[in-house]
Amino acid sequence: MAVPNAAGDLDPVALEESLISTWQEEDTFGQQVNSRKGGKPSFFLKAPTANGKPGIHHVVARTYKDLVCRWKAMEGHFVDEGWLGTHGLPVEIEVQKRLDLMSNEEI
């Protein structure tokens, strides 16, 4: 990945594309996750907000929750967030209401 010089030829889009390409080629995220497998697990549950409008207080809470996950990962903990924040049932209920479906069979 080329590093831009300080003369002002910074192209943020090209830099981001180059960075993403490098991360994909080197499997940076996968290496980070795999290096922590088997270690002490750490997680922080995210707020369940799938069926209402988010408020400004959600931003603060999610910021802290993201910060804790990143901090724990940087300390070497295995942070697996893949299963967190899934809102299946509340979303399913809201869809049933909006489509006026009375039973699961109608879905």
Average pLDDT over residues 23-32: 88
What is this structure's pTM?
Answer: 0.40
Spatial neighbors of 72 by CB under 8 A, at least 6 apart, are 42, 44, 79
What is the structure's pLDDT at 43? 62
CA distance 80 to 38: 12
Can you tell me whether residue 106 is helix, strand or coil? helix
Cα–Cα distance for residue pair 8/17, rounded to 1 Å = 18
Task: Please write the tens of the pLDDT for every residue from 39-94.
Answer: 776 665 555 556 667 778 777 877 888 888 888 888 888 877 665 555 567 777 77
